[in-house]
């Protein structure tokens, strides 16, 4: 029996190799974040048969043949090596408030250098930045900035952090990584606004140089992820746990889309999962949806739906729950979980007043979770 | 079968066609976003399928013996297909194409409307050819019978058009209208097949019984609650999961109200227009407060569309004396009152607010007093009709209605992160247009870009400190406006970035008679759903008159050479002439309607009248020729004369249409130009109407027709419709916006010139 199994395995592995067919197990040379020959060479991929490569960055794990690109439109197989087409070519370099991310517990009220490159590894039908995320580099205008240029720009503008936002940072991983390393050396903080659709290994490699992560938990069902985003939920949940375990500051946004992910049971299930896996101190933002991109035949999210979601989250014990995209809403501000007094007063993206001293509530000294120091 | 019954059936055929077309067009527009391109595609598919029906299916008429039975079968098939197509047009998208709430792009719109319209349009097209054959058998005259059927069909269309426009749309839902049309068709089938004496039962009798059954079923469905039940359940499927609480048609379009918890959302033709009680606060506060705060003392405000549902509420926070709010469709306001929220109730009940139900541009022109602020509440120049509020002529008119220091405010799609080529062209074009009229234009870039234009430099000089100071002085409560927010939104860096992003080499002015904005908007819209077609749009943007001249010259030369080598080919020059006439006629009529509404406003009944007059022109022209057909000896000469007339008409039309609007202030001139428009519409229809029966006579005499009525009727009618298809598809989307009215008319003259030359060649070959 043992002989039989061994012979079969042997034949299985040798025959394709001899006949020149794809065989990942024999000829694969895996790159896992080690030094690159060129800055734009991908950090996570493996060669399959000398010509095709398999990207190991996001859960899609695209097998890419010579001259072709992966699902994200950014990573190209050039003679058996995978290269990032967007390295050093950001389409947007901008300055904006951190509250816009939204990251409400990450040095509130500070301005950050925002950066992004073309394309995305998801296809969300309501994408707010579809002009960028649903295009490839060649469709867009872009700048040429080395990682150190970007950090210099942040320093020149006297900004405290660099933020990778607007489209999915994973798709310009190498560029993001190099910038973050330099930024951290220069004493700047880093944050990323992500969909969380990334494999564990690259994420673990990245987290040491990232201070804060906001992840869009777009819905709490595989069906929603599949139909609306062309992705899956499981890897996103894994990413959330990994970020939390690695003590990188984490906030979650759930855009509540009428009819698609606004079922109170789904929201309840999501909140319970957050409470059990990420803890009650993980901030959760329920944001209002407005018809956008391809989802134009829907109504905006009613305020009562957002408020119900808020209540569900609070009932599940979550301490920091927000209602977003509704300027003027009371729950856009931060309240102390202990004394219930307002410790950060916000008007949309603007911080009007902060009552936090050394990471504690100025009224009752309750320790508030977040990165507060300026 | 009595002649009267057949004539009645032909009239019903004409009426059924136009009613089915309008009902299905309106239904499909709700499912797919209603813009010029969507309308063009749906209309084009209709005409294409009719052409296929009349020419391909219609050809079988010569081979078959039981023509009346087939005619009745087609009628019954049409009757059954129509309500099914209405149902499909509501549920098709959500079942097969997209997730609930998702819009779809050009290719799905084209394909799905093609298949939804297919059974209705093809059977209707084939009915024309069979009708011609039956009529010719009855009359024993071939040429004149086709012309007469054409006349009957057109008269039927006029009657149907008037009925649906002025009566049916407002009082009946689409299923009732479809079942009414189905009942009429089934009923006339009974009379067509009425047994003339006792005989052995045969297929005809079975069909007669079937017609009776269909008639009874249609009437039962029509007068029982069944049609309402189908109507309601199909709406639920169309708005899957969204809880539509009200669905009503007005003459202008459909309004659907969606209720979700405490919130009401009003959709106009499937496009979101108002959300209450909590609108998009960020957008509304930006739009209203920046405008009101840029002005040193706003008192009189005009809102052109989109005011209810928050905007008026924000304006009323200021000490204004008067707010004029113009909305085209009274149904929207009626439903806002019916599904009232505290916000909408309070803003519309304020005595300072005066609501006017009319065309915005018409209102501005007629307004006797001036305004401090004019808000254009439309999101973009989505259609030729809405483009009239984004044109240089309108801006010029609005400028005259502004008080000193007055500001006009409008919005366009934007992005805070990246300006795509489509956004660059759209924003750049409207910015160029504003700059051509106003001394100062200020922009606040955002996901929706805000444009402020004025002749006063106070607009440009206002700093974020001034804005904050005014906000505090006027004690305006907002959710958004703080010192740092104002600074963030007005930051120079952002404005510079935006201006640099929309820099282009050429200046493009969006004008009434060259509505470039429509093309740029459609190009932007396409980039959302079908980015793979973006290159095509960019190529089309470079389309010029010279290019069309080159293409037409080469095509004509090629056809001429081929016909000299193969004389048989010249037989198709007559259908080609009708094809070009259909093309030119559709475009010229579109140009007339378009010019009319720029001068007189989008007044539904007036436009209805204009189209009726156009169709009456076709009927009168055909009738004129049919009556004289036997006496016309030199048909070629007459036909050439009509061809030449169309060339001249195309060349002269732009001169007649380009009337500066301020000339209309005088009543006599107003009436004179109005009459001229009606006359032009009539002549435009009549010229093509004159041609059709004449072409059938000439074609039947040639050896190409094989003396077959069915073949001739199908081919010529199909050619005419196919021309209309191209005119409908290209006219509103490409030719009028890119070439402008004058050049489009010149192009039509060139198109007609090609057929004139080919017909000349054809007459020589015939001799």
| Residue in chain A nearest B486 by alpha carbon | A350
- Please, which residues have CB within 8 angstroms of residue A71's CB and are 6 or more apart in sequence? A60, A62, A121
| Residue in chain B nearest A226 by alpha carbon | B99
Chain B: nearest CA to A33, how far in angstroms?
30
Decide: helix, strand or coil at residue B693.
helix
Number of cross-chain residue pairs from A and B with Cβ atoms under 8 Å apart: 130
The tokens for B673 are 């130009």
Asked whether the predicted pLDDT for residue A28 surpasses 50, the reply is no
Check: CB of residue B170 under 8 Å from CB of residue B249: yes
**A-chain residues near B502 (CB < 8 A):** none
The pLDDT, as a whole number, for residue B700 is 81
Helix ranges (DSSP H) in B450-603? 458-461, 464-474, 483-490, 492-501, 516-529, 534-541, 545-565, 573-600
Pairing between strand B300-304 and B322-327? parallel
pLDDT tens, residue by residue, B680-693: 999 999 998 999 88
| Residue in chain A nearest B285 by alpha carbon | A327
Q: Do A293 and B528 touch (CB under 8 A)?
A: yes
Farthest-apart Cα atoms in chain B, separation: 96
Note which residues in 299-358 of chain A have CB less than 8 A from chain B.
299-300, 302-305, 325-328, 347-350, 352
**B-chain residues near A327 (CB < 8 A):** 281-282, 285, 479-480
Asked whether the predicted pLDDT for residue A154 surpasses 70, the reply is yes
B479 at interface of A, judged by CB pairs closer than 8 A = yes
Pairing between strand A75-78 and B300-304? unpaired
Q: Give the whole-angstrom CA distance, residue A90 versus residue A116.
A: 5
User: Mean pLDDT score of chain B, rounded to an integer?
Assistant: 89
Chain A: nearest CA to B431, how far in angstroms?
21
Report cis status (omega within 30 of 0) of the bond before B277: yes
Check: CB of residue B399 under 8 Å from CB of residue B366: no
Note which residues in 216-255 of chain A have CB less than 8 A from chain B.
227-228
The pLDDT, as a whole number, for residue B703 is 60
| Residue in chain B nearest A326 by alpha carbon | B281
Chain B: nearest CA to A292, how far in angstroms?
10
Q: Percent of chain A at pLDDT above 70?
A: 90
Q: Do B417 and A116 touch (CB under 8 A)?
A: yes
**B-chain residues near A304 (CB < 8 A):** 261-263
Query: Would you give the DSSP letter of residue A292?
Result: B
Chain B: nearest CA to A107, how far in angstroms?
17
Note which residues in 206-265 of chain B have CB less than 8 A from chain A.
240-242, 258, 260-263, 265
Between residues A38 and B197, the one the model is more confident about: A38
The pLDDT, as a whole number, for residue B34 is 64
Out of A92, A94, A125, the one facing B99 most closely (by C-beta) is A125
Asked whether the predicted pLDDT for residue A16 surpasses 70, the reply is no
Out of B240, B280, B528, the one facing A300 most closely (by C-beta) is B280
The pLDDT, as a whole number, for residue B274 is 94
**A-chain residues near B242 (CB < 8 A):** 258-259, 298-299
| Residue in chain B nearest A96 by alpha carbon | B488
Check: CB of residue B49 under 8 Å from CB of residue B17: no
The pLDDT, as a whole number, for residue A15 is 38
Taking the C-alpha atoms of A282, A286, A292 and A294 in order, what is their torsion angle to the nearest 10 degrees?
70
* pLDDT range class, residue B764, cuts 50, 70, 90: confident
Count of C-beta atoms within a 10 Å radius of residue A6: 10
Asked whether the predicted pLDDT for residue B313 surpasses 90, the reply is yes
Sign of CA dihedral A26, A32, A38, A42: positive
**A-chain residues near B419 (CB < 8 A):** 131
Query: Would you give the DSSP letter of residue B735?
Result: I
* pLDDT range class, residue B41, cuts 50, 70, 90: confident
Taking the C-alpha atoms of B122, B123, B124 and B129 in order, what is their torsion angle to the nearest 10 degrees?
90
Half-sphere exposure of residue A28: CA atoms within 13 angstroms, side-chain side? 17
Asked whether the predicted pLDDT for residue A373 surpasses 80, the reply is no
Out of A128, A139, A350, the one facing B485 most closely (by C-beta) is A350
- Mean pLDDT for the stretch of residues B361-373: 93
Cα three-residue angle B680-B685-B690, rounded to 5 degrees:
120
Q: Do A132 and B417 touch (CB under 8 A)?
A: yes
Between residues A226 and B571, the one the model is more confident about: A226
The pLDDT, as a whole number, for residue B664 is 65
Long-range contacts of A208-211 (CB under 8 A, 24+ apart): A208/A246, A209/A177, A209/A180, A209/A181, A209/A183, A209/A184, A210/A180, A210/A248, A211/A106, A211/A161, A211/A248, A211/A249, A211/A371
pLDDT tens, residue by residue, A244-265: 999 999 999 999 999 999 999 9
Check: CB of residue B372 under 8 Å from CB of residue B402: yes
Check: CB of residue B244 under 8 Å from CB of residue B100: no
Ranking A281-285, B335-339, B731-735 by mean pLDDT, the lowest is: B731-735
| Residue in chain A nearest B478 by alpha carbon | A328
Most confident residue range from A247-251, B52-56, B221-225, B612-616: A247-251
Note which residues in 494-553 of chain B have CB less than 8 A from chain A.
497, 501, 528-529, 531, 534
Q: Do A300 and B99 touch (CB under 8 A)?
A: no
Preferred mutation among B268, B418, B532, B534 to probe A, highest tally of A CBs within 10 A? B418
Q: Do B415 and A227 touch (CB under 8 A)?
A: no
- Mean pLDDT for the stretch of residues B410-420: 92
Cα three-residue angle B728-B731-B736, rounded to 5 degrees:
160
- Mean pLDDT for the stretch of residues B622-648: 87
Burial category of B325 from C-beta neighbours within 10 Å (exposed 0-12, middle 13-18, buried 19 and up) = buried
B475 at interface of A, judged by CB pairs closer than 8 A = no
The pLDDT, as a whole number, for residue A27 is 37
Chain B: nearest CA to A279, how far in angstroms?
31
Sign of CA dihedral B465, B469, B472, B475: negative
Out of A131, A300, A326, the one facing B420 most closely (by C-beta) is A131
Asked whether the predicted pLDDT for residue B2 surpasses 80, the reply is no
* pLDDT range class, residue A10, cuts 50, 70, 90: very low
The pLDDT, as a whole number, for residue B552 is 92
Out of A135, A302, A327, the one facing B480 most closely (by C-beta) is A327
* pLDDT range class, residue B598, cuts 50, 70, 90: confident
| Residue in chain B nearest A308 by alpha carbon | B261
Check: CB of residue B125 under 8 Å from CB of residue B153: no
Ranking A49-58, B201-210, B284-293, B473-482 by mean pLDDT, the lowest is: B201-210
B493 at interface of A, judged by CB pairs closer than 8 A = yes
**A-chain residues near B415 (CB < 8 A):** 129, 131
Task: Give the residue among A210, A230, A42, A270 at the shortest CA–CA distance from B102.
Answer: A230
Note which residues in 167-186 of chain A have CB less than 8 A from chain B.
none
**B-chain residues near A139 (CB < 8 A):** 420, 531, 534
Chain A: nearest CA to B479, how far in angstroms?
4
- Mean pLDDT for the stretch of residues A53-80: 96
Q: Do A129 and B415 touch (CB under 8 A)?
A: yes
| Residue in chain B nearest A259 by alpha carbon | B241
Q: Do A347 and B423 touch (CB under 8 A)?
A: no
**A-chain residues near B484 (CB < 8 A):** 350
**B-chain residues near A153 (CB < 8 A):** none
Task: Give the residue among A374, A287, A369 at the shortest CA–CA distance from A336.
Answer: A369
- Mean pLDDT for the stretch of residues A5-18: 39
**A-chain residues near B285 (CB < 8 A):** 327
Element (H, E) at B92: helix B67-92
Ranking B180-194, B451-465, B488-502, B698-712 by mean pLDDT, the lowest is: B698-712
Preferred mutation among B35, B100, B101, B413 to probe A, highest tally of A CBs within 10 A? B101
Q: Give the whole-angstrom CA distance, residue A253 versus residue A257.
A: 12
- Mean pLDDT for the stretch of residues B735-752: 92
- Please, which residues have CB within 8 angstroms of residue A263's CB and are 6 or more apart in sequence? none
- Mean pLDDT for the stretch of residues A90-117: 95
A101 at interface of B, judged by CB pairs closer than 8 A = no
The pLDDT, as a whole number, for residue B631 is 79
The tokens for B63 are 């081979």
Q: Give the whole-angstrom CA distance, residue B521 versus residue B504.
A: 17
pLDDT tens, residue by residue, B45-89: 998 899 899 888 877 887 787 888 999 999 999 999 999 999 999
Half-sphere exposure of residue A110: CA atoms within 13 angstroms, side-chain side? 24
Pairing between strand A63-64 and A75-78? unpaired
The pLDDT, as a whole number, for residue A3 is 37
The pLDDT, as a whole number, for residue B659 is 66
Chain B: nearest CA to A306, how far in angstroms?
11
B485 at interface of A, judged by CB pairs closer than 8 A = yes
- Mean pLDDT for the stretch of residues B737-742: 90
Q: What is the pTM (predicted TM-score) of this model?
A: 0.89
Q: Give the whole-angstrom CA distance, residue B90 versus residue B546.
A: 43
Asked whether the predicted pLDDT for residue B195 surpasses 90, the reply is no
Ranking A35-49, B136-150, B480-494 by mean pLDDT, the lowest is: B136-150
Q: Give the whole-angstrom CA distance, residue B633 versus residue B626.
A: 13
Burial A10-41 (b: 16+ CB within 10 A, else e): eeeeeebeeeeeebeeeeeeebebeebeeebb
Asked whether the predicted pLDDT for residue A77 surpasses 90, the reply is yes
Separate counts of helices (H) and strands (E) for chain B: 30, 11
User: Mean pLDDT score of chain A, rounded to an integer?
Assistant: 90
Q: Give the whole-angstrom CA distance, residue B657 versus residue B591.
A: 9
Q: Give the whole-angstrom CA distance, residue B279 versus residue A328.
A: 12
Q: Percent of chain B at pLDDT above 70?
A: 96
């Amino acid at each position: 029996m043992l002989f039989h199994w061994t012979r079969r395995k042997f034949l299985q592995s040798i025959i394709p190799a001899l006949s020149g067919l794809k065989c990942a197990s024999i000829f694969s040379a895996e790159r896992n974040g080690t030094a690159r020959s060129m800055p734009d060479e991908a950090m996570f991929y493996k060669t399959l048969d000398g010509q095709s490569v398999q990207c190991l960055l996001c859960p899609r794990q695209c097998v890419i043949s010579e001259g072709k690109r992966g699902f994200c439109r950014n990573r190209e197989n050039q003679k058996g090596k995978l290269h990032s087409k967007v390295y050093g070519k950001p389409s947007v370099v901008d300055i904006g408030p951190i509250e816009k991310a939204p990251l409400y517990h990450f040095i509130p009220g500070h301005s950050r250098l925002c950066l992004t490159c073309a394309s995305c590894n998801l296809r969300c039908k309501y994408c707010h930045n579809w002009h960028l995320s649903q295009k490839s580099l060649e469709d867009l205008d872009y700048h040429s900035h080395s990682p150190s240029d970007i950090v210099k720009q942040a320093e020149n503008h006297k900004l405290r952090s660099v933020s990778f936002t607007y489209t999915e940072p994973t798709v310009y991983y190498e560029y993001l990584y190099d910038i973050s390393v330099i930024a951290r050396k220069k004493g700047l903080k880093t944050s990323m606004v992500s969909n969380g659709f990334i494999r564990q290994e690259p994420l673990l490699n990245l987290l040491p140089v990232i201070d804060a992560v906001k992840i869009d938990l777009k819905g709490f069902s595989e069906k929603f992820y599949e139909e609306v985003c062309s992705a899956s939920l499981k890897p996103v949940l894994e990413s959330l746990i990994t970020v939390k375990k690695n003590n990188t500051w984490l906030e979650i946004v759930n855009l509540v889309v009428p009819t698609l992910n606004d079922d109170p049971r789904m929201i309840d299930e999501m909140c319970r999962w957050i409470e059990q896996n990420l803890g009650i101190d993980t901030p959760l933002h329920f944001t209002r949806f407005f018809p956008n991109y391809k989802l134009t035949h829907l109504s905006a999210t009613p305020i009562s739906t957002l408020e119900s979601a808020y209540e569900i989250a609070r009932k599940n014990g979550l301490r920091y729950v927000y209602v977003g995209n509704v300027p003027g809403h009371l729950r856009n501000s931060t309240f102390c979980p202990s004394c219930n007094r307002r410790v950060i007063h916000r008007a949309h993206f603007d911080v009007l007043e902060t009552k936090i001293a050394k990471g504690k509530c100025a009224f009752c000294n309750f320790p508030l979770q977040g990165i507060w120091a300026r | 079968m009595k002649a009267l019954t057949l004539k009645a059936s032909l009239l019903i055929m004409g009426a059924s066609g136009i009613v089915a077309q309008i009902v299905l067009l309106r239904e499909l527009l709700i499912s797919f976003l209603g813009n010029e391109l969507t309308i063009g595609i749906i209309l084009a598919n209709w005409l294409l399928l009719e052409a296929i029906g009349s020419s391909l299916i219609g050809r079988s008429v010569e081979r078959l013996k039981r023509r009346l039975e087939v005619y009745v079968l087609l009628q019954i098939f049409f009757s059954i297909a129509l309500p099914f197509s209405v149902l499909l047009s509501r549920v098709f998208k959500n079942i097969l194409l997209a997730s609930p709430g998702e819009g779809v792009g050009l290719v799905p719109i084209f394909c799905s409307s093609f298949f939804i319209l297919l059974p209705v349009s093809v059977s209707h097209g084939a009915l024309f050819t069979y009708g011609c054959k039956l009529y010719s058998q009855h009359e024993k005259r071939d040429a004149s019978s086709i012309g007469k059927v054409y006349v009957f069909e057109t008269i039927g269309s006029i009657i149907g058009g008037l009925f649906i426009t002025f009566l049916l749309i407002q009082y009946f839902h689409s299923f009732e209208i479809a079942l009414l049309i189905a009942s009429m068709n089934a009923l006339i089938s009974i009379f067509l097949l009425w047994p003339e004496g006792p005989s052995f039962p045969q297929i005809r009798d079975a069909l007669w019984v079937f017609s009776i059954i269909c008639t009874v079923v249609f009437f039962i469905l029509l007068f029982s609650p069944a049609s309402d039940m189908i109507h309601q359940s199909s709406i639920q499927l169309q708005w899957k999961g969204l809880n539509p609480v009200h669905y009503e048609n007005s003459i202008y379009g459909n309004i659907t109200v969606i209720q979700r918890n405490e919130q009401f959302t009003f959709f106009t033709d499937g496009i979101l227009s108002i959300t209450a009680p909590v609108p998009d606060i960020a957008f509304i506060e930006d739009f209203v407060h920046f405008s009101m705060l840029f002005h040193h003392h706003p008192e009189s405000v005009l809102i052109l569309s989109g005011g209810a549902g928050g905007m008026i509420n924000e304006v009323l926070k200021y000490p204004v004396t008067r707010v004029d709010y113009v909305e085209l469709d009274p149904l929207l306001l009626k439903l806002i009152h019916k599904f009232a929220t505290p916000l909408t109730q309070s803003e519309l009940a304020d005595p300072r607010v005066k609501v006017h139900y009319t065309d915005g541009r018409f209102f501005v022109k007629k307004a006797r007093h001036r305004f401090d602020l004019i808000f254009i509440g439309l999101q973009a120049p989505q259609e030729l009709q809405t483009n009239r509020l984004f044109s240089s002529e309108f801006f010029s008119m609005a400028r005259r209605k502004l008080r000193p220091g007055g500001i006009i405010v409008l919005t366009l799609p934007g992005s805070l992160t990246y300006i795509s080529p489509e956004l660059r062209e759209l924003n750049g074009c409207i910015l160029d247009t504003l700059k051509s009229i106003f001394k100062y234009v200020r922009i606040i870039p955002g996901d929706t870009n805000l444009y402020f234009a004025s002749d006063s430099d106070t607009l440009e000089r206002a700093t974020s400190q001034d804005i904050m100071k005014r906000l505090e002085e006027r004690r305006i409560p907002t959710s958004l406006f703080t010192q740092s927010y104002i600074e963030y939104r007005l930051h120079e860096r952002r404005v510079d970035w935006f201006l640099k992003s929309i820099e282009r080499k050429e200046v493009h002015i969006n004008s009434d008679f060259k509505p470039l904005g429509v093309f740029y908007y459609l190009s932007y819209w396409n980039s959302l759903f079908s980015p793979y077609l973006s290159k095509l749009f960019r190529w089309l943007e470079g389309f010029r008159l010279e290019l069309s001249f080159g293409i037409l010259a080469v095509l004509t030369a090629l056809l001429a050479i081929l016909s000299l080598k193969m004389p048989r080919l010249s037989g198709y020059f007559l259908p080609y002439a009708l094809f070009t006439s259909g093309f030119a006629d559709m475009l010229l009529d579109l140009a007339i309607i378009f010019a009319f509404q720029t001068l007189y406003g989008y007044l539904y009944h007036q436009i209805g009248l204009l189209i009726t007059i156009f169709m009456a022109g076709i009927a009168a022209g055909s009738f004129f020729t049919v009556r004289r057909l036997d006496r016309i000896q030199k048909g070629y000469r007459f036909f050439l004369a009509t061809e030449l007339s169309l060339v001249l008409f195309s060349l002269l039309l732009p001169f007649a249409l380009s009337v500066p609007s301020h000339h209309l202030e005088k009543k006599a001139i107003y009436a004179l130009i109005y009459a001229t428009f009606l006359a032009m519409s009539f002549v435009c229809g009549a010229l093509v109407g004159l041609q059709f029966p004449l072409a059938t006579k000439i074609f039947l005499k040639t050896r190409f027709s094989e003396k077959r009525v069915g073949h001739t009727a199908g081919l010529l009618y199909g050619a005419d419709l196919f021309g209309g298809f191209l005119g409908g598809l290209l006219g509103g989307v490409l030719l009028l916006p890119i070439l402008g009215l004058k050049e489009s008319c010149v192009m039509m003259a060139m198109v007609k010139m090609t057929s004139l030359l080919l017909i000349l060649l054809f007459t020589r070959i015939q001799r």
